[in-house]
């Protein structure tokens, strides 16, 4: 197994391992260590069936379930109830998967739940000729580079998260999820490093701030966290298996041609209720 850093912001490429086969305990441990060190791992040229992806996912914890109040469009196309197909492909005019079209703002998967997902694992099956790239923002670095005055002001504050809190609608979308408040600064339960935990897509407000302060300070936090020096952009190739740590990363998606097919398979690992950084 060879692990190579891929950007100054975040991430490593892992080669010399076939994830379609059962790995040894030593291999899983090496991957876990690299995951904590680099936050995003890219495994190119993999051939993974759903059962392979779920098996790999289980090694790192309990596979996540779909946090929805309505039926998932791919429920009859996957074997595991937590598997999501991210696709714009349509059958009889209806998407065969979720999150079909266009760009998505930065977010952390499951931030609106009591126990947000610890990890997200995404396998590329079909990708468009361009676009649909995934951007990863390092929220460890975003916290570390925050001005001291902001760190002090927000030290004991909490952010309120909703599914698609800021999707251009008149009110946040509560139809697919709950609503949850988490510390603005969280402590990663394994590395004990501090990460900024807000996102443009899902953070509705900072609870302890007034409306006026929210507009100014939350906007400043979001702009800061998306600075180019914190971000790695992954350009997908079929067979890429990309896994990332939701406790210290936000991710986003760039736009892509609507007439071209895109199909990826997602699994997740259940996390814990984030603790405040000390």
Q: What is the pLDDT of residue 51?
A: 96
In a domain, 82, yes or no: yes
Per residue in 42-66, pLDDT (tens digit) is 999 999 999 999 999 999 999 998 7
In a domain, 218, yes or no: yes
Determine if the pTM surpasses 0.85: yes
Percent over 90 (pLDDT), the chain: 82
Question: CA-CA distances (angstroms) from residue 114 to 110, 183, 253, 268?
Answer: 8, 12, 24, 15
Average pLDDT over residues 145-152: 96
The pLDDT-based confidence of 163 (bands split at 50, 70, 90) is confident
Is residue 32 within 8 A of residue 102, CB to CB? The reply is no
Average pLDDT over residues 207-211: 96
Q: How far apart (Å, rounded) are the C-alpha atoms in residues 34 and 41?
A: 8
Q: What is the pLDDT of residue 177?
A: 59
Question: 174 versus 34: which is more confidently predicted?
Answer: 34
Question: CA-CA distances (angstroms) from residue 27 to 23, 45, 118, 132?
Answer: 6, 18, 20, 31
Looking up residue 261, the CATH number of its domain turns out to be 3.60.130.10
On the question of pLDDT at 83 being above 60, the answer is yes
In a domain, 11, yes or no: yes
Is residue 96 within 8 A of residue 74, CB to CB? The reply is yes
In a domain, 277, yes or no: no
Per residue in 108-121, pLDDT (tens digit) is 999 999 999 999 99
In a domain, 278, yes or no: no
Average pLDDT over residues 10-39: 97
Q: What is the pLDDT of residue 278?
A: 78
In a domain, 66, yes or no: yes
The pLDDT-based confidence of 168 (bands split at 50, 70, 90) is very low
Domain interval for residue 236: 2-272
The pLDDT-based confidence of 178 (bands split at 50, 70, 90) is confident
Q: How far apart (Å, rounded) are the C-alpha atoms in residues 200 and 75?
A: 28
Q: What is the pLDDT of residue 44?
A: 98
Percent over 70 (pLDDT), the chain: 93
Average pLDDT over residues 138-165: 94
Tokens of 213: 């302060």
Is residue 137 within 8 A of residue 106, CB to CB? The reply is yes
Per residue in 219-259, pLDDT (tens digit) is 999 999 999 999 999 999 999 999 999 999 999 999 999 88
Q: Return the number of other C-beta atoms located less than 10 Å from residue 66's C-beta.
A: 17
Tokens of 217: 């300070």
State how many domains the chain has.
1
Residue given tokens 């040229």 in the structure block: 45
């Amino acid at each position: 197994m060879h692990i190579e850093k891929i950007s100054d912001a975040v991430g490593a490429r892992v080669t010399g391992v076939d994830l379609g086969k059962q790995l040894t305990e030593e291999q899983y441990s090496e991957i876990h260590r690299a995951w904590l060190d680099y936050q995003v791992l890219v495994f190119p040229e993999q051939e993974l069936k759903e059962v392979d992806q779920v098996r790999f996912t289980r090694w790192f914890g309990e596979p996540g379930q779909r946090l929805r109040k309505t039926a998932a469009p791919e429920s009859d196309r996957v074997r595991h109830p937590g598997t999501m197909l991210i696709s714009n492909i349509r059958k009889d005019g209806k998407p065969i998967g979720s999150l079909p079209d266009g760009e998505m703002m930065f977010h952390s998967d499951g931030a609106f739940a009591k126990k947000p997902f610890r990890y997200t694992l995404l396998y590329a099956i079909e990708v468009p000729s361009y676009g649909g790239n995934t951007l990863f923002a390092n929220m460890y670095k975003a916290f570390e580079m925050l001005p001291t005055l902001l760190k002090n002001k927000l030290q004991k504050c909490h952010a309120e998260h909703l599914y698609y809190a800021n999707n251009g609608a008149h009110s946040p979308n509560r139809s697919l999820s709950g609503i949850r408040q988490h510390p603005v600064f969280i402590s990663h339960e394994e590395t004990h490093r501090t990460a900024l935990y807000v996102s443009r897509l899902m953070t509705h407000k900072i609870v302890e701030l007034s409306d006026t302060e929210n507009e100014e300070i939350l906007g400043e936090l979001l702009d800061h966290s998306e600075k180019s020096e914190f971000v790695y952009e992954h350009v997908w190739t079929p067979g890429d298996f990309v896994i990332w740590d939701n406790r210290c990363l936000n991710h986003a998606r760039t736009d892509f041609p609507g007439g071209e097919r895109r199909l990826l398979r997602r699994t997740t690992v259940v996390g814990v209720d984030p603790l405040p950084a000390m």
